[in-house]
């Protein structure tokens, strides 16, 4: 006897099902609407790319690249990885399609699954979904340097304004934007050395992870959530006191631009982000009801990344929203309403009534109503019970009497009331 195997979704992955998927679609639709009004076009990059693309952009010492990627050898032995994020892919596509020749900056958004082999928990999955956007601008001759600061900061601020407009459109009001500047290749290395020196002095008091990071990436120690390290971290030097003149000017201008746009934010000097490509502006958005995985969006500026990947010098800034977490947060906030059930259930009896039922079902569907048409005749009692179970708003009753008189009965299931309509009256009524 062959053993019956019960298949289950792989740990950290899950099926998204109706009616939840209606909410997912509403969220993605809202993103499309809002982002389009800010001049963004959609890009759909592939789900796997050469491993080297991610290693080079995100950084070899990051958790994402060193521990979390799904990497495999393709048949020709090239190492490929499922994308853990999409910024690297967007930059690759920008270079590959010569987008530096388009009017700059180029604004692109994407939605889709990402893959990271993290420990699954609430709000953390191995296949998760992001809604992201990137603004990339090739540097023209004579561009760059201090004189670009007002423009760059305005681009950052407009991106953040758009993000907050998106959350507002979803009526998710509990979100908090946190911003920081992590300097650039001028000032950050000096700050990192200072931080490393200070961390070495207190090494014994730090946990294992942070001790390791003193070597590999001292900035990440600032990210630590370990209770015992918090008092020590509070005494560490802050990057805002060590920014070079250009980075300080950029950060000040960003804050001024955010104020100008009425975007509220909180400064968080410990916000360093876990990917290597960032410089200057970094930000995160937290939402309520998510427990420890409360970052619903992260992003920042990544001037230089396109060049690092072999393109012309370019600037960039972008973000990615964790859609799984956003959905959880909307559900917790009671903002997850989606239409449930059917609008109209057609309870028909008799061969003549079936022909009318088929025709009217088509008309109603063409008008955008969700219609349930039972495939075979059923007793009225049973069919109305079914209409109820499906959460239908109305039952349209079509029996021989209704067909003969041309007066159809519409029953409102919530209160059991019934009204007679002719076909045109019915359509007028339903269309409101
Ligand atoms: P990230 O901070 O790694 O940034 O991810 C962005 C968001 O994706 C997080 O804030 C979180 O909401 C969600 N996320 C990340 N990992 C998981 C997971 N395992 N399960 C559920 N949600 C998750 C980036 O990915 C950058 N590419 C953002 C960016 C775009 N920076 C510039 N442009």
The per-residue pLDDT for range 82-91, each reduced to its tens digit, is 999 999 999 9
Decide which of 122 and 143 is more confident: 122
The alpha carbon of 225 and the centre of ligand 1 are apart by a number of angstroms equal to 18
Lowest mean pLDDT among 25-39, 286-300, 304-318: 286-300
**Is it the case that residue 2 has pLDDT exceeding 80?**
no
**Residue in 9, 274, 291 with CA at minimum distance from that of residue 124:** 291
**Residue in 67, 64, 66 with CA at minimum distance from that of residue 84:** 64
- pLDDT of 141: 81
SS (H, E, C) the chain: CCCCCCCCCCCCCCCCCCCHHHHHHHHHHHHHHHHHHCCCEECCCCCEEEHHHHHHHHCCCCHHHHHHCCEEECCCCCEEEECCCCHHHHHHHHHHCCHHHCCCCEEEEEEEEEECCCCCECCECCEEEEEEEEEEEECCCCCCCHHHHHHHHHHHHHHHHHHHHHHHHCCCCCCEEEEEECCCCCCHHHHHHHHHHHHHHCHHHCCHHHHHHHHHCHHHHHHCCCHHHHHHHHCCCCHHHHCCHHHHHHHHHHHHHHHHCCCCCEECCCCCCCCCCCEEEEEEEECCCCCCCCEEEEEEECCCHHHHCCCCCEEEEEEEEEHHHHHHHHHHCCCCCCCCCCCEEEEECCHHHHHHHHHHHHHHHHCCCCEECCCCCCCHHHHHHHHHHCCCCEEEEECHHHHHHCCEEEEECCCCCEEEECHHHHHHHHHC
87 ligand 1 Cβ < 6 A: yes
**Residue in 21, 85, 117, 36 with CA at minimum distance from that of residue 322:** 85
**Is it the case that residue 3 has pLDDT exceeding 90?**
no
**Is it the case that residue 80 has pLDDT exceeding 90?**
yes
Residue of 114, 288, 303, 320 to test ligand 1 pocket, by largest number of atoms within 8 Å of CB: 320
Instruction: Report the percentage of the chain scoring pLDDT > 90.
Output: 88
Residue of 64, 85, 88 to test ligand 1 pocket, by largest number of atoms within 8 Å of CB: 85
89 ligand 1 Cβ < 6 A: no
The alpha carbon of 354 and the centre of ligand 1 are apart by a number of angstroms equal to 52
How does residue 32 score in pLDDT terms, banded at 50, 70 and 90? very high
Residue of 82, 83, 94, 130 to test ligand 1 pocket, by largest number of atoms within 8 Å of CB: 130
322 ligand 1 Cβ < 6 A: yes
How does residue 143 score in pLDDT terms, banded at 50, 70 and 90? confident
Give yes or no for a contact between 179 and 281, defined as CB atoms under 8 angstroms apart.
yes
How does residue 37 score in pLDDT terms, banded at 50, 70 and 90? very high
Measured from the CA of 64, which atom of ligand 1 is nearest? Answer: 3
Instruction: Report the percentage of the chain scoring pLDDT > 70.
Output: 100
Measured from the CA of 130, which atom of ligand 1 is nearest? Answer: 8
- pLDDT of 380: 86
Rounded to two decimals, the pTM is: 0.93
Q: Looking at residues 390-398, what average pLDDT do you find?
A: 95
100 ligand 1 Cβ < 6 A: no
The alpha carbon of 263 and the centre of ligand 1 are apart by a number of angstroms equal to 22
Lowest mean pLDDT among 129-138, 331-340, 355-364, 403-412: 331-340
How does residue 402 score in pLDDT terms, banded at 50, 70 and 90? very high
Measured from the CA of 285, which atom of ligand 1 is nearest? Answer: 10
Give yes or no for a contact between 324 and 387, defined as CB atoms under 8 angstroms apart.
no
Residue of 118, 294, 298 to test ligand 1 pocket, by largest number of atoms within 8 Å of CB: 298
Q: How far apart are CA 210 and CA 165, in angstroms?
A: 37
* Residue of the CA atom closest to atom 20 of ligand 1: 124
- pLDDT of 1: 55
- Distances in whole angstroms, Cα of residue 213 to Cα of each of 119, 188, 274, 364: 20, 16, 12, 62
85 ligand 1 Cβ < 6 A: yes
- pLDDT of 415: 95
**Is it the case that residue 280 has pLDDT exceeding 70?**
yes
62 ligand 1 Cβ < 6 A: no
- pLDDT of 289: 84
- pLDDT of 284: 97
**Is it the case that residue 72 has pLDDT exceeding 70?**
yes
Q: Which two tokens stand for residue 106?
A: 């180029």
Tens of pLDDT along 198-255? 999 999 999 999 999 999 889 999 989 899 999 999 999 999 999 999 999 999 999 9
Q: Looking at residues 179-189, what average pLDDT do you find?
A: 95
**Is it the case that residue 70 has pLDDT exceeding 60?**
yes
Q: Which two tokens stand for residue 374?
A: 């039972």
68 ligand 1 Cβ < 6 A: no
175 ligand 1 Cβ < 6 A: no
């Amino acid at each position: 006897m062959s053993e019956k195997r019960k298949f289950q979704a792989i740990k950290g992955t899950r099926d998204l099902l109706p009616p939840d998927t209606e909410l997912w679609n509403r969220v993605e639709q809202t993103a499309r609407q809002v982002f389009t009004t800010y001049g963004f076009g959609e890009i759909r990059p592939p789900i796997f790319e050469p491993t080297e693309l991610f290693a080079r952009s995100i950084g070899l010492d990051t958790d994402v690249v060193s521990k979390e990627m799904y990497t495999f050898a393709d048949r020709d032995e090239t190492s490929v990885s499922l994308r853990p994020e999409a910024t690297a892919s967007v930059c690759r596509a920008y270079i590959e399609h010569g987008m530096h020749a388009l009017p700059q900056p180029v604004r692109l958004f994407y939605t889709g699954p990402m893959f990271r082999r993290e420990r699954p928990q609430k709000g953390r999955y191995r296949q998760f979904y992001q809604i992201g956007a990137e603004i990339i601008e090739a540097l023209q001759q004579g561009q760059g340097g201090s004189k670009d600061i007002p423009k760059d900061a305005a681009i950052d601020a407009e991106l953040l304004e758009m993000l907050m407009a998106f959350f507002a459109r979803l009526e998710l009001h509990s979100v908090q934007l946190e911003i920081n500047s992590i300097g650039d290749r001028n000032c950050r290395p000096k700050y990192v050395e200072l931080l490393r020196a200070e961390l070495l002095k207190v090494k014994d008091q730090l946990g294992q992870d942070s001790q390791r990071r003193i070597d590999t990436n001292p900035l990440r120690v600032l990210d630590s959530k370990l209770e015992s390290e918090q008092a020590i971290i509070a005494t560490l030097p802050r990057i805002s006191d060590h920014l070079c003149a250009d980075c300080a000017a950029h950060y000040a201008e960003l804050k001024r631009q955010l104020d100008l746009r009425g975007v509220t934010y909180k400064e968080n000097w410990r916000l360093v982000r876990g990917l290597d490509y960032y410089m200057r502006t970094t930000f995160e958005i937290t939402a309520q009801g998510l427990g420890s995985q409360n970052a619903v969006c992260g992003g920042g500026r990544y001037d230089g990344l396109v060049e690092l990947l072999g393109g012309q010098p370019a600037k960039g800034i972008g973000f990615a929203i964790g859609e799984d977490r956003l959905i959880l947060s909307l559900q917790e906030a009671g903002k997850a309403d989606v239409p449930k059930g059917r609008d109209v259930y057609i309870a028909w009896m008799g061969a003549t009534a079936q022909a009318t039922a088929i025709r009217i079902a088509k008309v109603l569907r063409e008008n955008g109503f969700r219609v349930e048409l039972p495939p075979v005749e059923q007793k009225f009692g049973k069919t109305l019970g079914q209409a109820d179970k499906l959460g239908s708003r109305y039952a349209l009753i079509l029996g021989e009497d209704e067909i003969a008189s041309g007066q159809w009965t519409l029953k409102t299931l919530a209160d059991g009331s019934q009204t007679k309509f002719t076909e045109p009256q019915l359509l007028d009524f339903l269309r409101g």
